[in-house]
Structure 1
Amino acid sequence: MPLAHVQPPFRRLAGLILGSLALLAAAPATAELELHPRLQTSLPAIFPGMSAERLNVTEIAPPPELPLTIDLTLRANNLWDRLRNGFAMADLNDELVLHYQQWYQNRPEALRRMIERSRPYLHHIVEELEIRGMPTELALLPMVESSFNPMAHSPAAASGLWQFIPATGKRFKLEQNWWQDERRDVMASTSAALDYLQTIYDMHGDWHLALASYNWGEGAVKRAIEKNEARGLPTDYPNLTMPKETRHYVPKLQALKNIIGNPETFARLGLPFIANQPYLATAAAPRPMDVKIAARLANMTLEEFRHLNPSHNRPVIKADTPVVLPADRVDTFNENLANHQAPLTQWQAYAVKSAERVGEIAARFGVSTAELAQVNGLPGNVRLAAGSKLLVPGSANQDGLQRMLGMESSPAIIQPEPKARGKKGKLTAKKTSAKNTAKGSRPVSKAKPVSSKKAPAKKPQKK
C-alpha cells in the first residue's frame, strides 16, 4: 500500500472527533446529551453538581500572544529600566566586585540616600550618555566619585559630582574664578566629564582602562601598560600594577551596576523609583541677579536653589549665566522675571579709598563683619588696602558692580599689619618668626662675624 494512504492513528482519531462534533451541532438545541455508559461511569465523584446526563461546556480563552522581541524604541516609565537597557561595558568578575556588592547591600539605607541625592541629576546624565552613544552605567560613576554630592571636595582639591581637580577642569573648559567654579555646575561638569571619558577611551580602546585613567591619570595608566608590554605581560585592567585606590575603583562601579541592573535585588533592597522624565532645565536673566532673587522668582527656597546651583561663589550671578531649575519651574521663573520691576540685585561695588578694616566697612553698611567677609571670600576682619573693591549691600553703584563682574580674581587687597612704634618714636617691626618675615628675608643675626681664615689643625698627641 502506498505510504501516502497510511493515516497515522492520531489523524484517524481527529477525524472521528470532528465527525462527532458535527452530529452534535446538527442536533436540536433541546435534545439531551446522551453519553456512552462507559463515559457515564467514568465521571469522578468529586463533582457532585455535575450530572452524568449533561455536561456543562465552558469556553477557555487562549492566552494572549507575547511579542517575540522587546521594542527598545518605546519610552520606559522607569529611569532604571532605561539605564539597564544601555549597559554596554564588559563585566568585571573578581573578589573585589563581590566584596563591594556585599558592602553596598549590607548598607541599604546609605544606598537609598545616595540614590535620592541622584534624583535631580540622573535623567540628565543618562540622556547625555545616550546622545553620545556611551555606556549608560557611566551614569553611576558619581556614586563612586562623590556619592552624588555636588559640593563634595577632596583633600586633593577635586570638586563636584565628577571630582575634577583644578588642572583637568581648566583643560576641559570649566571656569574657576572668584565668581564661579563650574566644577560644581551639574550640567557643565557632566559635559566635561563625558568629554574626558570619551577622550581616554579613544586612547585605550577599553572602558576599564579609561576608568582607571579617570582615577589615576592617563599618563600613569599608559606607563603601566608600557611596563607590562616590555615584560610580555597582559595589558588589561586586572593585570596592571596600580595604586590600591585605582584597583578598587572599577570594582565599586561594577558592584553598583550589578545591584541596580538586577530588578529583583533592586526591589528587595527597597531602592527608590525614579521617573523617566526630565527633572532639570535652565533659564537666564539679561542682567546681574542675586541668588536670593533668582530663588524667589522660581518659587523655590534658597536652600533648594543653591542645591541645584552650587557653582556660584558670590551672592550675585553674572548676566546671561544659565541657572539650573526644576523643569516645571522654568515657566514660573520666566513669567516672574518679566513682571519684576525692582532691581535684580541688592549688592553694589564699594571702593576702599584708604586702608581700613572689614569691620569698619561692615558697620557703615549695617551688616555683620562675618557676613561681609564671607560674601567677599575674606578670611576675617582683615585690613584692606586702598584700591580694594568689595560687594556691599545696596544698589547705588551698579556701574562699579559691572566692572567687578569682569574681574576673574578677588578685587580685595589685604594689607599687612602696620608696624608698631618703639620707645623713642621710631617704627619697629613686630616680633615674628623667621618663616613669617615679609618677603622671606632673614632676621639680622647679632653674632660676631666668623673669620674666613681656617683655624690651624691640631697636631695629634703622641701616646
Structure 2
Amino acid sequence: MALWRLLASAALAIVIAGCAMTSPTPQAALAPDIPSGALSPIQRMTLVGWTVRRQEPAQDVWTRMRAGFTMPDLSTDLVSDREQWYASRPEALTHMTERSGKYLFYIVEELERRGMPTELALLPFVESAYNPVAVSSAKAAGMWQFMPATGTYFDLTQNAFRDDRRDIQASTRAALDYLQKLYDMFGDWHLALAAYNWGEGSVSRAQAKNEGLSLGTGYTELTMPEETRWYVPKLQALKNIVNDPQAYGVKLADIGNHAYFESVRITRDMDVLRVAELAGVSESDFRQLNPAYKGPTIFAAATPEVLLPWDNAQIFKANLATLQDARLASWTVWTAPQRMAVAEVAKKVGVEETVLRSVNLIPSGMLIDAGAALLVPRTASLLTDVAAEIAHSGQLKLASAGRGQGSGTRVAVVARKGETVATLARKYKVSAADVARWNNVGRNAKFRTGQRLVIYRAAQPAKQQSARK
C-alpha cells in the first residue's frame, strides 16, 4: 500500500509539473481543495500556444515599401511646398513612377535585406527621376548620381567600355553602402541624406561651426547650400505622397510585388544586339536594364552577367544553348602602341574613320594617345575574347592635335566661383564647343566652385617657346 501511495504521489507531481505550461478551464479553477493524501481526478486543460496568423504578401511594391517607412518625419514649410509642387504635376509624377518600375522592387528588397528604411528607395526620384543614364552638369552619373571620384571610392568601374555608376545593381550596392556609412557617422538619417548630397566633410564642418556658436547641430539647424536645404524636404514630400496618393490626387504606376529582372550569366564576349535578339527584347529595352555598357559589345571577362526581364531570361538561356560554336561578338579591343592620328588608326585596323570615331566617341581635333584602348572590328579569324586586364581597366586616352601646331598639352583646371564654359573658353582662348566636349557638359553649363576640369592647349611654335624662356 505504501508503494502504491508513493507511485501515486509521483504521478501527481508529474501532472502538476506538466500543467505548469497550461491554463486551467474555469471549472478547474473553481475545483475544491483536494484533501491531503487523496488522488485527484485529472481535469481537462486548455493548451496555451502561439497564435498562428496568416501573412498575406503585399499586393504591390508601394504597399511593401510603406511597411518599411521607419525614418522620422520632417514637417516644415519646405516639405509642404514640395508636396504642392509634385501634386500639381500628377502626369509627370505618374510617368516618373512608371520609369522606376523596372528597378524599384530590387531596391526595396535590398533595403529590407540590410534592415534600412525603405524611404531610401525614393531617393533616385530626387537624384535623377529614376533615370539610370542621367548625367549632371557636374558629371555625376546614374540614378544614384555618383561623382567620378566617389564612384571609384566605392569600387564602381569607370573605363572605356563601361561605367558602373549607371549599373543598376552595382550603383545600388554602392549607394546603400554609402548611405549606411553616413548614418553610422551622424546617427541621423536626415543628416546622412544631407551628407550624401553635400558631402560628409561639409556637414561635419557645419556642425562644428554651430557647436562653436552654441547652436543646435540637427538637420534643420545647420546652414547649408540651397540645393541641400531642399534635398530632404523633397524626399519627405515624396514619402507623404506615396503614403497616401489619393489625398494628393496622384496616381502611382502599377508596380507588382515581384522581381522585374533576372541576372543571367554569360561566358563569352557578345554584342549587345546579339544578346537582345536572343532574349527577344529590343536594344533599347536591354540598355534600360544594362545602362553601364558604353559600346556595342559586352566583354565577359569584366561583365559575367547581364540583366534581362524575367521571362526573356529563360528565352535567352534556351537560345544561347543552341549557339555554343557561333561567333557572338563583332568588336574587340585594340591598344595603340604610340600616339597616332585617328585616320592612321582607322586605316591600320581596317575601318572607316567616321565609324571609329563614332563607336569610340572620339571628338574632332584629337589624337589617339599611346596605350589607348579602342573598339575595333573583330576579324573572322580572331576567336580569343578580350583579356580581363583590358576589359577591366582599358581607357580611351586622347591628346589634343592643337590647331595645326603639333600635339598640344592637357591642362588640369579647377573651376572658380561663377565659372562657366564660356568664361573658360575665353580664358584659355579655345572654343566653347571644345570646352563643353572635353568636359562632357552642355555649352551653357555652369561649374561648381572647386570642380576639376580639363583644357587642351595647342603647343606653342618653337620660336615663341624660346622667346619666353
TM-score by length of structure 1 reads 0.71
Among 410, 415, 438, which residue is 2:395 paired with? 410
Q: Is this contact kept in 1: 2:401–2:458, CA < 8 A?
A: no
**Match in the other structure for 1:45:** none
Please point out which of 350, 354, 361 is paired with 1:377: 361
Contact 1:280–1:325 (Cα < 8 Å) also in 2: yes
CA distance in 1 between counterparts of 2:54 and 2:241 reads: 22
Aligned to 1:325: 308
Write the distance in 2 (CA, Å) between the matches of 1:441 and 1:131. Answer: 64
RMSD value over aligned CA atoms? 3.3
Name 1:438's counterpart in structure 2: 459
Deviations, residues 103-140 of structure 1 (Å, cap 9, x unaligned): 00000111011101100000000000000111111100
Q: Is 1:170 paired with 2:158?
A: no
Match of 1:281 among 256, 262, 269: 262
Letter in 2 for 1:74: E
Which residue pairs with 1:336 in the alignment?
Answer: 319
Q: After superposition, give the CA deviation of every residue in 1:299-350 in whole Å (9 maximum; x if it has no partner).
A: 1111111111110122221215221111222211111111113211012445
Partner of 1:311 in structure 2?
A: 292
Classify the secondary structure of the residue corresponding to 1:391: strand
Q: Cα distance, 1:368 vs. partner?
A: 4.8
Structure 2, unpaired ranges of 5+: 1-50, 407-427, 431-455
Distance 1:158 1:386 in 2: 28
- Residue 137 of structure 1 corresponds to which residue in structure 2? 119
1:204-248 Cα shifts (integer Å, max 9, x gaps): 111000000100011111111122122221111111111111010
The change in CA–CA distance for 1:329 and 1:433 in structure 2 (over 3 A counts) is closer
Which position in structure 1 is the counterpart of 2:70?
A: 88
**Structure 1 residue ranges without an equivalent (≥5):** 1-68, 422-431, 450-463
Structure-2 separation of matches of 1:206 and 1:294:
44
Q: Distance in 2 between matches of 1:188 and 1:75?
A: 28
Residue 342 (structure 2) pairs with residue 358 (structure 1): yes
Q: Which amino acid aligns with 2:157?
A: E
Q: Pick from 121, 124, 145 the counterpart of residue 103 of structure 2.
A: 121
How many residue pairs match? The answer is: 369
Between structure 1 and structure 2, the one with the greater Rg is: 1
Shift, 1:362, TM fit: 4.9
Shift of the 112–209 alpha-carbon distance from structure 1 to 2, 3 Å rule, reads same
Taking the aligned partners of 2:176 and 2:405, their CA distance within structure 1 comes to 56
Residues 295 and 301, structure 1, Cα contact 8 Å, conserved in 2:
yes
Give the share of equivalent positions with the same residue, in percent.
46
Q: Counterpart of 1:183 in 2: which secondary structure?
A: coil
Given candidates 270, 273, 279, the residue that maps to 2:251 is 270
Cα distance, 1:228–1:331 mapped onto 2, change above 3 Å: same
Q: Distance in 2 between matches of 1:96 and 1:385?
A: 50
Q: CA deviation at 1:403?
A: 7.5
Deviates more, 1:106-115 or 1:373-382: 373-382
For residues 59 and 169 of structure 2, what CA distance do their matches in structure 1 show? 23
- Give the drift of 1:408: 1.8
Normalising by structure 2, report the TM-score.
0.71
3-state DSSP class of the match of 2:329?
coil
- 1:278 shift after superposition: 0.5
Go from structure 1 to structure 2 and tell me whether the alpha carbon gap of 1:420 and 1:371 turns closer, same or farther (over 3 Å shift): closer
SS in 1 for 2:376: strand
1:292 is paired with a residue whose SS is helix
Q: Does the C-alpha gap of structure 1 residues 213 and 329 become closer, same or farther in structure 2, counting only changes over 3 Å?
A: same
Going from structure 1 to structure 2, the CA distance change for 1:206 and 1:292 (only over 3 Å counts) comes to same
Give the Cα–Cα distance (whole angstroms) in 1 for the partners of residues 385 and 399 of structure 2: 20
Change in 2 beyond 3 A, CA 1:172/1:355: closer
Residue among 259, 279, 282 paired with 1:301: 282
Counterparts in 2 of 1:399 and 1:223: CA distance versus 1, 3 Å: same
Tell me the distance in 1 between the aligned counterparts of 2:196 and 2:467: 55
Which residue identity does 2:190 align to in structure 1? Answer: H
